[in-house]
Structure 1
Amino acid sequence: MPYPSTQPPPVSRRLSRPEGLRLLGNVTFGRIVFISRALPGIQLVSHVMDGEDLLVGLPGDCEVVKLLTQLSPVVYEADVLDTATRHGWSIVLTGRAGLVEDDEEIARALRRLRPWPGEEISVVVRIHPELVTGTRIEDATAAAR
């Protein structure tokens, strides 16, 4: 027989654009979603914020880089979730992505990006967010503050 929890149930609330962008700045990885040969693709990548834009580091030989010879629509998702409490947040950013071509800007981004072990970042992509949506799941007392 399951025992009822003495904790209040978690509640979900929508996040504003500024809060979503701030939370994206608190993590260093997410997933870029793109379309290739009429099929969706998803790749785990590292990122840093540059104002409201997202800079994503990619290996030069990955599928996404081949698609970004011009500004292309992409979706980016990042989250932090605690599986024990089921609290956390998820942000989805939709925007246009393009390759960063300025050598100084690439060098600055490469100093800040933290690649995955064994990954070599050689390309930087800038995503300008057009739409930022998100959800935070927390206990009811935190949501009331």
Structure 2
Amino acid sequence: MQQQVTRSAPTSRELSRDEALRLLGNVTFGRIVFISRAMPALRFVAHVMDGDALLIGLPYEAEIAALLQRVSVVVYEADELDAAARTGWSVVLTGRAGLVADPQELEQALARLQAWPGERIDVVARLRPELVTGFAAGAD
């Protein structure tokens, strides 16, 4: 007699702030969302965690650099998904971001960041998350 294996249905759960930031530290790319010409704009970028802050590496664009020079509110999202298994997680940070201006700090950040293929990292922003949300989906 053949025994039938039943799999539990995938579930979704909210992540704690600490868990969300830890997961964010396990990936190196995400998306920064900012307002451009009164509309949301999105860029794929590299990141690394720096304590509870996020360092974001960007190619130079005058509009983004000008926005970040005055410390602006941005949204950042990163995830890790397995579409076939229907598992993964997504984390969204909202907070104030500004350019890293100190030359030594900038040099250290540039050494840690890994650019998207075919891209350069010219500027680095530090995002201090005020709101951290996230969820994980998968079988329990």
What's the TM-score once normalised by structure 1's chain length? 0.90
Match of 1:27 in 2: 27
Match of 1:76 in 2: 76
Instruction: Report how far residue 62 of structure 1 moved.
Output: 5.6
Are the counterparts in 2 of residues 77 and 92 from structure 1 also a CA contact under 8 Å?
Answer: yes
Instruction: Report how far residue 106 of structure 1 moved.
Output: 0.5
Match of 1:101 in 2: 101
Note closer, same or farther for the CA distance 1:127–1:41 as it changes in structure 2 (3 Å cut): same
Quote the Cα distance in structure 2 between the aligned partners of 1:116 and 1:81. Answer: 19
Q: For 1:45-124, what aligned pairs fall within 5 Å after superposition?
A: 45-61=45-61, 63-124=63-124
Instruction: Report how far residue 7 of structure 1 moved.
Output: 1.7
Residue 118 of structure 1 aligns to a residue in which SS? Answer: coil
RMSD: 1.2
Q: Which moved more, 1:64-73 or 1:81-90?
A: 64-73
Quote the Cα distance in structure 1 between the aligned partners of 2:10 and 2:63. Answer: 39
Q: In the alignment, is residue 126 of structure 1 matched against residue 129 of structure 2?
A: no
Q: Deviations over 1:46-65 (max 9, x none)?
A: 00000000000011126422
Q: Structure 2 counterpart of 1:87, which letter?
A: T
Quote the Cα distance in structure 2 between the aligned partners of 1:37 and 1:69. Answer: 17
Note closer, same or farther for the CA distance 1:109–1:9 as it changes in structure 2 (3 Å cut): same
Quote the Cα distance in structure 1 between the aligned partners of 2:136 and 2:121. Answer: 31
Quote the Cα distance in structure 2 between the aligned partners of 1:59 and 1:46. Answer: 10
Note closer, same or farther for the CA distance 1:62–1:15 as it changes in structure 2 (3 Å cut): farther
Q: Structure 2 counterpart of 1:130, which letter?
A: E
Q: In the alignment, is residue 137 of structure 1 matched against residue 137 of structure 2?
A: yes
State the identity as a percent. Answer: 62
Q: Deviations over 1:82-138 (max 9, x none)?
A: 010110000000000000000000000100100011111110000000010000001
Are the counterparts in 2 of residues 57 and 124 from structure 1 also a CA contact under 8 Å?
Answer: yes
Q: Structure 2 counterpart of 1:60, which letter?
A: Y
After superposing on structure 2, the runs of 4+ consecutive aligned residues of structure 1 that deviate more than 6 Å are none
User: How many corresponding residue pairs?
Assistant: 136
Q: Structure 2 counterpart of 1:8, which letter?
A: S
Q: Structure 2 counterpart of 1:103, which letter?
A: P
